[in-house]
Structure 1
Amino acid sequence: MARALTLLVLLTSACSSKGDQAPAPTVQGPGSGSGSGSAVPEVAPVVVPETAPARRLWSNKLDSQEMFDAYSKELGGERFSKFVIDLKSDAIYYFDVDVYKVHKDFVFQELYKKPKTKEAVRVFDKNYTAQKVDFMLCYIVHHTSQDVWTFAFWDGDLATPEQVTHAYKRMKETFFKGDLVKYRPDSSHQESVAKKLVGVPFILNDALYKAAEYVAFNEGQNVGKLRLVPPNVAETELTFATDEIVVLAAPLADITPVAGIISEQFSTPLSHVSLRAKAWKIPNIGLKGAREKLATFDGKQVWFEAKGGTYTLRAATPQEIAANQAKEQKHVDLPAANLDFGEMLTLDQFTAKDIVKFGAKSANQGEIIAAKLTGFEVPPGFGIPYRYYAEHMAKNGLDEKLVAMLADPAFKSDANVRKKALAGLKAAIMAAPVDKSFFDKVDAALKALPGSDGGVFVRSSGNAEDLDQFNGAGLYDTVPNQRGLDQVLASVKKVWGSTWNFAAFEDRSRAKIDHLKVFSSVLVQIGVPATAAGVLITEHPTDPTDEKNYTINAKSGLGMSVVDGKKVPESLIVSWYNHGIRVLSRSAEPTKLVFDEKGGIREVPNPDAGKPVLTNARALLLADTARKITKVFKNDHLDIEWVFVGEKLFIVQTRPLVR
């Protein structure tokens, strides 16, 4: 599908300069012209004479770049057109995609010339099977980043090797770049067909993605000071200012609020950092060679814009700097925490109203269980309410320490001071003893949880995460595969302490959240020994108008390596509407994470590196399940974490996707 093309829109970048007031030129990706804002020269409109004949809405050939441009459209940086081959007459029709959005509209209007009744559509849809009745329905795409031309079928099309070969022959005879065009399979089925082709060159989406020079993980624009971050500095030693646009050698597993992110090594749009960039509404891109391309801007105030197919970075004007400084950050109000409730309830007892006792993460899981949906399970668990965090802080004098720390002028003004002080507070929370009554209650709840001796996850479920306006993705700690009461209690304190993780504090400050109103609840949940795990968002990754496709990232083993964003996962676009599956990339990691028998996790060789993580059946089950969950929450924009154990699906987290 055309809208599914956009994640592979990956344009190389080039440098150009405008004006005579150096020091710094404008840096852009190709296709964006020679400048931006006031630097862009006005272009006179093309005036078409009234006597000029109307251009047809289709053509039997595209014999020039001008013709291709006239019948094609650029979406996220890929320029694409569509064509239909009549199987009876062998005629080929390239049609105007600005007029006819889908093949079906063109065929019924221009070729069938009859209404789209249910029966007529049912017959037409046979053209997506191996037994096509009337037409072959194809796309032709220019991937401008790699300057590669491809043709493709819709990802759900079951075209045979013979049909692909014939489509290639007719395209090659009628398209001006036909000799350069390669077949691009978009699904596992089509990949198997491609390997059977003779005389038809093909290229996989995975190869296109890895060869890309540029990708936009979040579009947007901002003004800030460009900072080239040295590649040899440990991530734990880094601090950032909120007005910085940072250039990184590799993706970070965690980051505090910044004005923009540029990484030389590509991540994924579903990593925690990418999801935060979306919530912060800042541009976030991958750009190979970024340090060299942008070196002249280091330390300077710049205007940075990221689009699907290109980016622009130039010196900011005084007016832009002033307007950026005048921007007001929206205040986020937190759900009030009930500090009186002390019962440790199981997930199947939770409903949405329990957010004030156990946090949104736990309450959302309870809502899903209560909906009694089929096709998946939610791992059992129990919640430790806010009350016990507040008591732990008060009984150990940590609440007073917190108030004094927040009032310290040096803490307020210096990020390095804040980072050290927050780490000290977290350590104090973890070191402080729990009282006997709390010990006994956790012991009883753990013993009553079936399967807990096989390991549990200890997860944060505070009142400053998983909210409509503040998702808190990756800000707080999750401790996997904890075995026995001692490990669980230590992990509960670690999760409590993670309330004061540096990144969490900085992000809450950005959102103007009152830190004294932040409380931590804990979810203790049966650990699932995943054979595959990942994230699904109920959106197309780059096309906000597409409401029928979901994006899935997956890896073998446990899911922590998916959300840290350091390696490219398997990435799919899956339609809940027509069950089309498009493969964007494969995960080739040589190792995977599994449970350690003594508790925690360990890394082991991955015998399936490079092979599909999700079968078609698993991918469709995920999409169908996610669609059901959107109905439960009456929200079409969700971020869902999932795991498979063999063919059995578990949903382990659902939260609003902050857009």
Structure 2
Amino acid sequence: MNAGIRLLSVNMRSLVVLVLAAGVGLGLAGLTAVAAGAPVGANEVVARRAVRPLAKPGEVAGRIESVHTIESAEAWAKMAARPASQTVARTEVVKFLLDRETGRTLWFVDSERYDMHYAFAAEKLSTLRRPVESHAVFNVREYRREDRRFELGSIVHYLDGDLWTLEMIGGDTLAGEKVLALYQQLRGALWIGDRLRYRPLSGLHEELTKAVRDKLAVVSTEEVFAGVKYQPLTEGKACGYLRIVRGALEPGSVRPDQILVLEQLPEEIPVSAAVISQPLQAPLGHIAVLCAGRKTPNMGLRGALDYADVARLEGKLVELSVGPQEFGLREVSLSEAETSWKQRRPSEALIPKLDRKPVKLSDLKELSLYDADFAGAKAAQLAQVGRLGKEVRTPGGFVIPMAHYLKHFRATGAERCVDGLLMDEAMLVDVAGRTARLAEARALIETKEVDAELLASVHAKIQATAPTAKWILRSSTNAEDLAGFSGAGLYRSVVVKAGATPEQLAKAIREVWASVWLAGAFEERSWYRVDHRRVAMAILAQPFVDGALANGVAITANPFTEGRPGFLVNVQTRGGSVTGAHGDEVPEQVLIYTYSEDVESEVLARSSRTGGKAILSEKQIAELAKVLGKIHDEMRPRWGGTVNAVDVEFLLAGEDAHVVIVQARPYTVNYGAGRRLE
């Protein structure tokens, strides 16, 4: 402490006594603010935490609190954290701060204790001469402005691929030549030396470092992804019989008491206890979304069939634990498993809302969220999105209400067939018998003529709206896209060619109606105790968005941590699969942060179809963020309960690649320990 600071401390002693006597412990930085005439609240986080003098680098309780260099793997281990909030599992992280005002002093910090750069700066580097500002001001200045005091980032060790990277938040605007100087200084301060590589996390980073790219040892997102072996998708624990599925999965063979180890990703998956897939999954792919909605533990594990524990425990009753950094398998007793199964299944019946009266073909623009009981949740929710103004586009279309399905269901005899199935107790255990009865019901629906008056109305509506376009007839039941019951993929949608005849339309309508009684839909509804007799199908008829440049899925939440709000987006080029269910196809995966006015994004993976090139430009990311924000603000409060996000499906269409929203449904991100905002 120099003489000037010592004198100020002595002169302020009486003020300290007065403050403490009043029961308010401001701390040194808070007192500095008072002495300077600043409002007491202007530095409230610093005032609460910066009460200790700056310590020399050293060990604290077996950990190393801070050092200027890391000279061994042992020292690294005493500083590294394995945070649950990482976007890639099996990672170790050490945060660093470079202080420009003290001759470019590097500080590597205990990243378990200091999980934010700000926490260390406020507690350890705030001085009377230059106090660290409030958290909000710090975040703007130190990541985005040229007059920053600190250069901030993390050293990340990807354990699966044994990669060491320098990473900065996606919105950091540090200029390329400064990134290069920082990188070179870090290499000299770490025992790994030239093994350190720079990983640009966003298009902004790639642009800023373009001029110095040849001087940086860069690791691409593709290289990081290629090294990943373990991928947690839905965290949690579940018990079941471990079943290895070699080749394609036969959906009818799946039981709720099975933990599936899949050699291939299926297009659909019935209710199971848990899922381990040998291929990694698209985070918002169909299987991942289904498992998330069901709260079914789900993970990807490259080489899963060759893992010793998997082979050893095949056929046995086990507990699978899927965590943010690791997973575990252990053998369990039947009593443990039965307790787990009882807790997983809903205890109360779900009674779908149903209005049998409306029969008019209603344009989507005439409907709202509150028409779901006759238009189905899919149509009603998309109609509500369509009310958000010109910035949020949908394909439009019209709805065939549920009353027409119910009339056809009765007239064909399918209703009697289903009633017989539901009253036959033998069918509770006879899977083959149930499947046969359901096939009989579908056949009755698909062979009976559609009401002639309805068919004429549908044909006329299409001719008046878009006669030269293909159309898609989409399922819209009262037992899908609900808060607490997603039902994603249970029912069928059918595309009809341009200029389709009434007979061709009738065939498509019957196929959509019949899908209410697909075996997979019936079994999932049964598990969730949905009242089958109340389930009905409306049809959302829409002009097909032909020639879309890309298709995508987004959830309006950051599934990796509640502490950094954002949107997770998966997008794939035309002809590709955004679900990631085909071979090793990988969609582009972008995390768009929403906690500041400036759009900040992080690229988690590039599309396997583009050779490393971006599908979404920075401008498109900003436009998409605006649309998703509007949908989130409009829809999430209307669902209430535990729903904290919207699951959105979209297309990029037209020469300007504008966003077209084709679906919006409730979604709940279940944040595990370490991911929650405590």
TM-score tier, shorter chain, comes to 0.7 to 0.9
Residue of structure 1 in register with 2:433 after alignment: 417
Residue of structure 2 in register with 1:526 after alignment: 543
Residue of structure 1 in register with 2:15 after alignment: none
Deviation at 1:328, TM superposition (A): 6.0
CA separation of 1:563 and 1:383: change in aligned 2, threshold 3 A: farther
Question: What's the TM-score, normalizing by structure 1?
Answer: 0.83
Q: Which has the higher contact order (CA 8 A, sep 6+)?
A: 1
Residue of structure 2 in register with 1:628 after alignment: 630
Cα pair 1:141 1:151 within 8 Å, conserved: yes
Question: What's the TM-score, normalizing by structure 2?
Answer: 0.80
Residue of structure 1 in register with 2:560 after alignment: 542
Residue of structure 2 in register with 1:458 after alignment: 473
Matched, 1:383 2:396: no
Residue of structure 2 in register with 1:441 after alignment: 457
Matched, 1:213 2:233: no
Residue of structure 2 in register with 1:18 after alignment: none
Residue of structure 1 aligned with 2:532, choices 515, 539, 554: 515
Residue of structure 2 in register with 1:167 after alignment: 182
Residue of structure 1 in register with 2:579 after alignment: 562
Amino acid aligned to 1:83: F
Amino acid aligned to 1:403: D
Deviation at 1:244, TM superposition (A): 0.5
- Match runs of 1:157-236 below 5 Å: 157-191=172-206, 193=209, 196-231=212-247, 233=248, 235=249
Cα pair 1:185 1:194 within 8 Å, conserved: no
CA separation of 1:122 and 1:472: change in aligned 2, threshold 3 A: closer
Residue of structure 2 in register with 1:42 after alignment: none
Deviation at 1:320, TM superposition (A): 1.6
Cα pair 1:332 1:469 within 8 Å, conserved: no
CA separation of 1:420 and 1:616: change in aligned 2, threshold 3 A: farther
- Report the secondary structure of 2:98's partner residue: strand
Matched, 1:297 2:313: yes
- Match runs of 1:18-37 below 5 Å: none
Deviation at 1:615, TM superposition (A): 1.1
- Report the secondary structure of 2:69's partner residue: coil
Residue of structure 1 in register with 2:171 after alignment: 156
- Report the secondary structure of 1:474's partner residue: coil
Cα pair 1:446 1:485 within 8 Å, conserved: no
- Report the secondary structure of 1:541's partner residue: coil
Cα pair 1:268 1:565 within 8 Å, conserved: no
- Report the secondary structure of 2:481's partner residue: coil
CA separation of 1:385 and 1:563: change in aligned 2, threshold 3 A: farther
- Report the secondary structure of 1:215's partner residue: strand
Residue of structure 1 in register with 2:56 after alignment: none
- Report the secondary structure of 2:479's partner residue: coil
RMSD: 2.6
- Report the secondary structure of 2:174's partner residue: coil
Matched, 1:580 2:600: yes
Matched, 1:336 2:353: yes
Cα pair 1:534 1:559 within 8 Å, conserved: no
Cα pair 2:352 2:530 within 8 Å, conserved: no
Residue of structure 2 aligned with 1:75, choices 63, 70, 83: 83
Amino acid aligned to 1:649: V
Residue of structure 2 in register with 1:249 after alignment: 263
Residue of structure 1 in register with 2:157 after alignment: 142
Deviation at 1:652, TM superposition (A): 0.9
Matched, 1:309 2:325: yes
Matched, 1:349 2:357: no
Task: Measure the CA separation in 2 of the matches of 1:53 and 1:368.
Answer: 53
Task: Measure the CA separation in 2 of the matches of 1:186 and 1:111.
Answer: 27
Amino acid aligned to 1:359: G
Cα pair 2:372 2:380 within 8 Å, conserved: yes
Deviation at 1:164, TM superposition (A): 2.3
Deviation at 1:210, TM superposition (A): 2.2
- Report the secondary structure of 1:516's partner residue: helix
Amino acid aligned to 2:492: D
Cα pair 1:639 1:655 within 8 Å, conserved: yes
Q: Which runs of 5+ in 2 are unaligned?
A: 1-58, 85-89, 638-643, 670-678
Residue of structure 1 in register with 2:7 after alignment: none
Q: Which runs of 5+ in 1 are unaligned?
A: 1-51, 590-607
Residue of structure 1 in register with 2:39 after alignment: none
Task: Measure the CA separation in 2 of the matches of 1:237 and 1:513.
Answer: 20
Amino acid aligned to 1:539: A
Residue of structure 2 in register with 1:498 after alignment: 515
Percent of aligned pairs with the same amino acid: 27
- Report the secondary structure of 1:197's partner residue: helix
Matched, 1:86 2:94: no
Task: Measure the CA separation in 1 of the matches of 2:338 and 2:182.
Answer: 56
Deviation at 1:649, TM superposition (A): 1.0
Residue of structure 1 in register with 2:651 after alignment: 643
Residue of structure 1 in register with 2:487 after alignment: 472
Amino acid aligned to 2:163: V
Residue of structure 1 aligned with 2:297, choices 283, 288, 291: 283
Amino acid aligned to 1:421: R
Deviation at 1:236, TM superposition (A): 5.1
Deviation at 1:313, TM superposition (A): 0.9
Task: Measure the CA separation in 2 of the matches of 1:397 and 1:238.
Answer: 25
Cα pair 1:364 1:654 within 8 Å, conserved: yes
Deviation at 1:325, TM superposition (A): 4.5
Cα pair 2:114 2:120 within 8 Å, conserved: yes
- Report the secondary structure of 2:468's partner residue: helix
Corresponding pairs, count: 584
Q: Deviations over 1:404-456 (max 9, x none)?
A: 2333455321333333433343233222210111112212322332x353122
Task: Measure the CA separation in 1 of the matches of 2:574 and 2:506.
Answer: 26
Amino acid aligned to 1:621: E
Task: Measure the CA separation in 2 of the matches of 1:570 and 1:122.
Answer: 28
Cα pair 1:239 1:256 within 8 Å, conserved: no
Amino acid aligned to 1:85: L
Deviation at 1:647, TM superposition (A): 2.7
Q: Deviations over 1:617-646 (max 9, x none)?
A: 212222222121111123431100011113
Residue of structure 2 in register with 1:269 after alignment: 283
CA separation of 1:122 and 1:531: change in aligned 2, threshold 3 A: same
Q: Deviations over 1:30-76 (max 9, x none)?
A: xxxxxxxxxxxxxxxxxxxxxx9788853222233343344332124
Residue of structure 2 in register with 1:37 after alignment: none
Deviation at 1:198, TM superposition (A): 3.5
Deviation at 1:479, TM superposition (A): 2.2
Q: Which has the larger radius of gyration?
A: 2
Cα pair 1:168 1:183 within 8 Å, conserved: yes
- Report the secondary structure of 2:343's partner residue: coil
Cα pair 1:458 1:524 within 8 Å, conserved: yes
Cα pair 2:170 2:602 within 8 Å, conserved: yes
Task: Measure the CA separation in 1 of the matches of 2:311 and 2:444.
Answer: 42
Cα pair 2:317 2:334 within 8 Å, conserved: no
Matched, 1:111 2:122: no
- Match runs of 1:597-616 below 5 Å: 608=610, 610-616=612-618
